[in-house]
Structure 1
Amino acid sequence: MIIYAALLAIPNNIPNIVIATIKTLPALLLCVNSFLRYHFTRGNNFLLFLSVAFIFHALGDFLLEIDNMFTFGLASFLVAHSCNLVAFSSKADESPDSWPICCQKLSSKSKRKLNSSLTPIQRDEDVKHNFLRPKLAIPFVIYYGAFMAILNTVGPGSAGDKLTSDPIMVACVAAYGAVLASCPWRCLVRYKHCFVAENQMIWMFVLLGYLTYAVSDSTLAIDRFSQQIPEPYRTIVVMTTYWGGQLLISLCCDVEFANASILNTFISREKMAVRHTTGSTDSDTLFPALTGGAGDSLLPPSTP
């Protein structure tokens, strides 16, 4: 971000394509993170959709810096949020085929022991018949409706025309806003124990990430269609909230592996506990196959 801000401070000396390329780097790095997790867990669709989402975020970052490519950039971000929406509504897979590669090396007997010690990720019983939880969507629907009303009545902004002057753009922005508003709703549902055996505390941070992301997109939309925001305030607000939101959203990669999360440093062990039937996050309780057999043990033996 510091490099990007420094480049913007140099007037007319840096081609847009160079700035656009640098702007894509954060999203590409987050894509690498989620894709490596997808690879090493052998086929988790949850992480796959997150990886694809970050690719389209990077593409959108690039297109928005190119002249006359705003509509294509908006379409790219729409695909990215749609992928996140699918991921946030999908269960993570804990079947033996999706275990980390280290677990694939265990013997058949140890795999059976490990499988019996894990609670499959599934819908929680108290929300099994209310997966959508529409009441949790109310605040996001209100914000979406109010914001669309502002964009369609106030203007013009830096684009030179009001949003209503282009019916196609009105439809695109409306569709984009609806998908964007749906993602924090699904994060809130996940936080309310939509699925068991995953770290629901992390979903609160992901929700905060999407709300931060919404500040970035809202600022960009207001500047373009309703009221021009002077530089450098526009860039500072848009980019800090965008990259900050992206970083928080990427934490949802940790929901299956709570003990490996960076948030362990800031949150107590009790709050980070994954909801297993054992009620414990100790490796010798959750993963007896990894600590039990002499030939299969992948963890160092405990010292007396």
Structure 2
Amino acid sequence: MDPGKEGLPRKPRFSAQLHVGKWLSPFFFTCAVYFLLWIPDDQPSWVGALVKCLPVLSLVVFLRAADAGRGYSARLQGALLCSAVGDACLVWPEAFLHGVAAFAAAHLLYLWAFGLTPLQPGLLLLVIPAALPYYSLLLWHLPPDLVLPLTAYSLALATMLWRGLARGGSAGWGALLFTLSDAMLTWNAFAQPLPHARLVVMTTYYSAQVLISLSVSQSPKLKPN
């Protein structure tokens, strides 16, 4: 077999991997900055909010490099921008509900991106039994004024998880990690403090966002260099 011909199919794939790595490097750099600075939670500031948002905003730049499938990529970018707004709002406790609303909008955009085909209702039958016991326990610890907003948010999150799992690939793993991150965040905030909660929450959150963003490469191709 001709080694030149044998190597031809590998070159575009290798080039695409280099391209993805180049555009993802700001994400990993800004994640490292966030964890190295580790700005305290009890000192809300715009600097802290910006450092927290930069990894998610860098994923918007990554998605801007996507070529085909612009509709899917645009919805993911919108979800990431809403997530960044939510990240900033959660820095200030008094803006908690604004953050919940921003993340709910992000989940709706992810849901729109993932679509309803294939439907796979069987996955929904797995999501509901897992979500109901957790939320039933959490409900006892929520302040009365947060019950309705967080119930609506939980429905949006559970639906996003269902559709992410139905899409599969990195979108499914990202949706699952996003759900776990939110579950730990709310349990730590309202029910019982968890050890190393912030580290685990932010690690799973950033991992979720990058995995969902990488799902853009499963259908469309990235621009060549």
TM-score category by the smaller chain? 0.7 to 0.9
Distance in 2 (CA, whole Å) between partners of 1:257 and 1:9 is 37
Say whether residues 1:146 and 2:176 are aligned partners: no
Higher relative contact order (CA 8 A, sep 6+): 2
CA contact (8 A) 1:144 1:178 kept: no
- Counterpart secondary structure, 1:228: coil
The verdict on how the C-alpha distance between 1:11 and 1:48 changes in structure 2, with shifts beyond 3 A counting, is: closer
Please name the residue that 1:249 is paired with. Answer: 212
Please name the residue that 1:172 is paired with. Answer: 149
Please name the residue that 1:238 is paired with. Answer: 201
Structure 1 residue corresponding to 2:159, chosen from 172, 179, 182: 182
CA contact (8 A) 1:20 1:66 kept: no
- Counterpart secondary structure, 2:93: coil
What stretches of structure 1 of length at least 5 have no aligned partner? 91-122, 124-130, 154-161, 191-202, 262-304
TM-score normalised to structure 2 length? 0.77
The verdict on how the C-alpha distance between 1:182 and 1:18 changes in structure 2, with shifts beyond 3 A counting, is: same
Please name the residue that 1:70 is paired with. Answer: 96
TM-score normalised to structure 1 length? 0.58
Distance in 1 (CA, whole Å) between partners of 2:59 and 2:41 is 30
> Within 5 A, what are the aligned runs for 1:138-287?
138-153=125-140, 162-163=141-142, 165-167=143-145, 169-190=146-167, 203-230=168-195, 233-257=196-220
What stretches of structure 2 of length at least 5 have no aligned partner? 1-30
> Within 5 A, what are the aligned runs for 1:37-56?
37=66, 40-41=67-68, 44-56=70-82
CA contact (8 A) 2:44 2:92 kept: no
Distance in 2 (CA, whole Å) between partners of 1:149 and 1:11 is 28
Larger Rg: 1
Paired amino acid for 1:85: L
- Counterpart secondary structure, 1:257: coil
Distance in 1 (CA, whole Å) between partners of 2:169 and 2:219 is 15
Aligned residues: 194
- Counterpart secondary structure, 2:147: helix
Paired amino acid for 2:32: I
Paired amino acid for 2:124: A
CA shift for structure 1 position 11: 8.9
Task: Determine what percentage of the aligned residue pairs are the same residue.
Answer: 31
Q: What do the CA deviations read for 1:143-178 (whole angstroms, capped 9, x no partner)?
A: 22111101013xxxxxxxx31x324x1111111111
CA shift for structure 1 position 10: 6.5
